[in-house]
Every structure is written in structure tokens, then in C-alpha cells.
Amino acid sequence: MSESGSSNVCYRHPDRQSFVLCQRCGRTICPQCQTQAAVGFHCPECVTTAQARAPRQKSRMVRSIRRLGADGAPAVTYSLMAITAFVFLLQFVTGDLVTRYLTYYPVLTAREPWTMITSMFVHGSFLHVTFNMLSLYIFGRALEPVIGRARFLVLYLLGGFGGSVAVLLLNPSSGVLGASGAIFGIFGAFFVVQRRLGGNSLQMVILLAINLGIGFIVPGVSWQAHVGGLLVGGLVGFILMKTRAIRAQGRQKLLLAGVAVGLTAITVVAFTSYVIR
């Protein structure tokens, strides 16, 4: 191989004449061996060396995932939004199949009890899912860092469960779908937490009044699920605030489990009474 100082031929291809030098090492390089740099050209060896020494940049996706897992990031809120969006896409792709098997019909409680939970992930329209996910985005990002990820997930699921139980109690002949019960559960807990921490709750009261009013006025909106989710969410928020101390964490878990057991018991009694009638 020839160096640039000894001839005007490419050091990698001696049969090719060139007058271009690598800006790093000074060797002659032909067009095939030239890599455009900020100034001039680099030879293949210098490019390889520079790449090996350069600090490795994390991809944007990796950085986003790490930020999502950082302490205080509302990972559960974003995960619930992603799951709901994915399920809504499946609804669109599969027609009525996913909607049918995930929607809660009180008359089928004994046969399909899981739908009391899965119904919160299916929606009837784009506007429906957009409004619910916007509410989850706004209030979830505010509440989740305060109470913690695991507690927020429990709150969301119990709120949705409470909404389904309320539908079974108050309107058992209908079907229900949507995250409204879970969203109102967040509303209820947010109100209680805000009050206990000394925040101004007037705006929250107005928001609750407006949303509850819409449920009673607009046809096709399940106000029963709203009320059920709100009551359960308020109860969960009250438990969380009363058991904030580290020494009370065991009692907190027992009380939250008691809420789930209580809702299950109400479901069994209510469905049994409905069947007997």
C-alpha cells in the first residue's frame, strides 16, 4: 500500500490515481474510499476509529422508555391510555367481535364476570374514547405521582368495577362499556385527596357537577356507572389518606382488598336477586 506522501494513488487501491487526502491521517483516498466529513473527506479506517470512540447515543425510544420508568413518571396512566387505544383499534378491525366479548351485560354476569372489568377498555365511538382518555391524561398525571403507581392502578380498576356494580344494581337490563366509571373513580379520589391536602376543591366540585349532569341529561350515557365509580373512588381516596403512614401500609392493603371483596359480594347478591325476580 502507498502512503499519500509517496504517491498520488489510493492507499487501498494502488491502481487508482487520486489527489484527495484523508483529513485525519493524510493518506490518499479514491472516490470509493472517501467518506464526506464536516471538513473534507475521511478514509475507511479513520471513520471506523471515530465511530468506535464516539459516545453511543441512546435512541429516542430508549430514552422515552427510561423517562417513563423514572421515579414520579405517570407510567400507569400512559399504559392505561395505550391499552385502551389498542383495544379501540381492535374494535375497529374486528367489527363487533371485541366489543361484544368485552362489554358488560348485567344479565350475563354469572357467565361473563370478567366483563365488569374489561368493559372499561372498550368504547362506543372515537369521541367517547377521546374524552375519557383526555380526562385520564389530565387527572392521572396529577394524581398518580401523589398516591403511587400501584395505588393508582388499584383505584382505576376499583372505580371501573364500582361503575359496573352500580349498573347491575340500578339498571340491570342494559349493557355498559367505557372507562367512565374508572374516570369518575379518579375524580372522586382526586377530590378527597385534594381536600385532605388542603387544596382548593371548588373547580373540582364544578367539574363533577357538570359531568354528572351530562350523564342525567344526555341519552345513552350511563349515569349509574358515573355514580358508582365516583363513590368507590371517593372511598379509595379516603382509605389512602387515612393510611398514609408507613406503619399503616398493611392496614391500607387490607382495606383496599376489603373494597374489592365488598363489591364482589354486592355483585353476587344483586345478581341473585335479579335472577330470582
- Whether 128 sits among the annotated catalytic residues: the reply is no
Residue 145 lies in a domain: yes
pLDDT of residue 179: 95
Domain count for the chain = 2
Q: For 40, left (φ over 0), alpha (ψ -120 to 50), or beta? A: left
Residues 50, 107, single domain; the answer is no
- Predicted pLDDT at 250: 95
Residue 226 is among the residues annotated as catalytic for this protein: yes
Q: Which of 42, 123, 128, 226 is catalytic?
A: 226
**C-alpha cell of 148?**
403511587
The tens digit of pLDDT for each residue in 172-226 reads: 989 999 999 999 999 999 999 988 887 777 777 887 788 777 777 766 778 899 9
Please tell me whether residues 44 and 108 are part of one structural domain. no
Residue 226 buriedness (CB in 10 A; 0-12 / 13-18 / 19+): buried
pLDDT tens for 102-121 read: 999 999 999 999 999 999 99
Are 215 and 94 in the same domain? yes
The whole-model pTM stands at 0.73
**Percent of the chain residues topping a pLDDT of 70:** 90
The range of the structural domain enclosing residue 150 comes to: 74-276
3-state secondary structure 12-81: CCCCCECCCEECCCCCECCHHHCEECCCCEECHHHHHHHHHHCCCCCCHHHHHHHHHHCCCCCHHHHHHH
| pLDDT band per the 50, 70, 90 thresholds, residue 69 | low
Q: Is 68 among the domain residues?
A: no
Assess whether 34 and 81 both reside in one domain. Answer: no
Spot the catalytic one: 119, 135, 164, 180: 180
> Quick one: 161 and 38 in the same domain?
no
Please check whether residue 66 lies inside any domain of the structure: no
Q: What is the pLDDT of residue 4?
A: 39
